Amino acid sequence: MKNARMDCLVPTAWKNVLILVMVKSVRAFVTVTIKRVTPYKDVWIVKVFTE
């Protein structure tokens, strides 16, 4: 019983971690892309606040 529970818990924990990492990497990538695409800082700030 214990092993079965652990088998169920571990994948979900890993999925949560993977999702968190993916979200963070995507956010970082998006911010970097926006900064490169729009040299104007005002435009970038507006985009961040409107999201």
**pLDDT the model gives residue 30:** 87
Share the mean pLDDT of the chain: 75
Model's pTM, two decimal places?
0.45
The one-letter code for the residue type at 14 is W
Q: Does 39 or 16 have the greater pLDDT score?
A: 16
| String of DSSP letters for the chain | -HHHHHHHHHHHHHHHHHHHHHHHHHHHHHHHHHHHH---HHHHHHHHHH-
